[in-house]
Chains A and B, each alone.
Chain A
Amino acid sequence: MWVSSKPSSLDSSALSFRSFISPVQIPNSNPSISNSRPSSSSINCSLKELRGRIESVKNTQKITEAMKLVAAAKVRRAQEAVVNARPFSETLVEVLYSINEQLQVEDVDVPLTSVRPVKKVALVVVTGDRGLCGGFNNMILKKAEARIRELKTLGLEYVVISVGKKGNSYFSRRPYIPVDKFLDGSNLPTAKEAQAIADDVFSLFVSEEVDKVELLYTKFVSLVKSDPVIHTLLPLSPKGEICDINGVCVDAAEDEFFRLTTKEGKLTVERDVVRAETIDFSPILQFEQDPVQILDALLPLYLNSQILRALQESLASELAARMTAMGNATDNAVELKKNLSQVYNRRRQAKITGEILEIVAGADALV
């Protein structure tokens, strides 16, 4: 009997030491010794255990709730970053568009636009830095794996450029996947990080080590939906259009951005498609340099802003995924806590009833 009761009390103490501090526990434990030991001690112990579990669920709920709120606040910041990037991308698209108009007649040859027969493909995989965001990281890594298999069946070589800590640890655990570079993401993507990726991609492509660069990132659709997508980064087609893997052209003049608003006290997302205006561009514009040189200067900028956009979208998706995941976790914790306290209260009441019955029976016996 003693042997059986000892480990159980140790267990409960390991679960929570609060049960020792709580004053309710002390009067409860006294009658249990005088009663038949095995049954009461098992009840007592599970009561303690229950209390410990309720406590830990409560703590977990607090953490998940806080994480959800933090993620929500960060989504707002991510959205601001996208809005800040808009003047640049708008002007860029406008300029690129009008210069292309003037270059239509000429046969331009820019390194970044040269379409070569593809032998090797570079995959830029953008993941998050942290976990606890549902299937976000898994989804993009699965997409990358699928793409790698596809390339293998096509008999093409590939190399991965991994962005983000989760992707880095994933690929470093798989040495059979050739990785060119591990880059760290950050809390807020800046032009510098986009530049680092762009530099890498640029030198890989220009030195003809790879013939195609694809960007795998998570597109932000709404707070509850995000899609892992593949986006061909290089070669750029001379029209300034980017085609995705299905050959569908994403027009450069179409600028999408998302907006977080509050509607009836709930967060909602609006996604706007803004047609970039291409007016009031002086027709007597002179080119200081060769048009080719100007395109040469513009296209890296375009590349950079594309990468930055992808990083921002990926971050927004990660935060949205974390918000949903943590929201669900909080809901589960609430339910679990409710069930546990119900069981706890029921047991406590049963025990008290039993004790009262015993006391009454004892008093009866005395009379």
Chain B
Amino acid sequence: MTLNLCVLTPNRIVWDSEVKEIILSTNSGQIGVLPNHAPIATSVDIGILRIRLNDQWLTMALMGGFARIGNNEITVLVNDAEKSGDIDPQEAQQTLEIAEAALRKAEGKRQTIEANLALRRARTRVEAINAIS
């Protein structure tokens, strides 16, 4: 049986092809999906997605969303997804530092919510790059 993965963002299809295995960061922890997985629906946290193609692992930064698994079809709907190869390491590191500084300076409930979200996004992007090496 082959497992098909489809990663969709609001403006494009990021990934639509066959994979051997994926590891998905959900809100309740990471789950690994192999062919013939039981049909489940899960929310996807801001975190990394690891994809196995034969013996090669690929990493992708996902910016929160939803996934549906069933019938050997995985559909991942996310706000934004970036392949680790497409992320500029320097830029990502800088964004992380800016986000950390913003959180320290944040005042009030609203700014804290925004700063926290930004920090988690930035951290995920850096993690996605470092996962390869």
Contacts and interface: CB of A to CB of B under 8 A. Distances in A.
Contacts of B42: 287-289, 294
Contacts of B39: 282, 284-286
Given A191-B79, A297-B65, A285 B41 contact: yes
Nearest to A189: B11
Contact of B66 (A204, A284, A294): A294
Contacts of A200: 114
B interface secondary structure, majority: strand
Interface stretch (B49-57, B68-76, B91-99, B125-133): B68-76
A81 B10 CA distance: 10
B77 A88 contact: yes
A26 to B, nearest CB: 62
A99 B75 CA distance: 15
A293 B28 CA distance: 10
Contacts, number: 108
A301 interface: yes
Size class of the B contact interface (CB-based, 8 Å): 35 or more
B44 interface: yes
Contacts of B105: none
B110 A99 contact: no
Nearest to B121: A195
Contacts of B11: 81, 84-85, 88, 190-191, 308
B84 interface: no
A297 B110 contact: no
Interface in B98-119: 108-110, 113-114, 117
Given A95-B77, A203-B110, A300-B79, A285 B70 contact: yes
B36 to A, nearest CB: 13
Contact of B114 (A91, A192, A194, A199): A199
Interface of A: 81, 84-85, 87-89, 91-92, 95, 99, 190-192, 194-195, 199-200, 202-204, 206-207, 209, 282, 284-289, 293-294, 296-298, 300-301, 304-305, 308
Interface of B: 8-13, 26-28, 31, 38-44, 63-66, 68, 70-71, 75, 77-80, 108-110, 113-114, 117
- The 6 tightest CB contacts between A and B, nearest first, are A297-B43, A288-B42, A207-B110, A282-B39, A88-B8, A191-B10
Given A199-B114, A288-B31, 11 more contacts: A91-B75, A194-B10, A195-B80, A207-B109, A288-B26, A288-B28, A288-B42, A289-B43, A294-B42, A300-B64, A301-B64
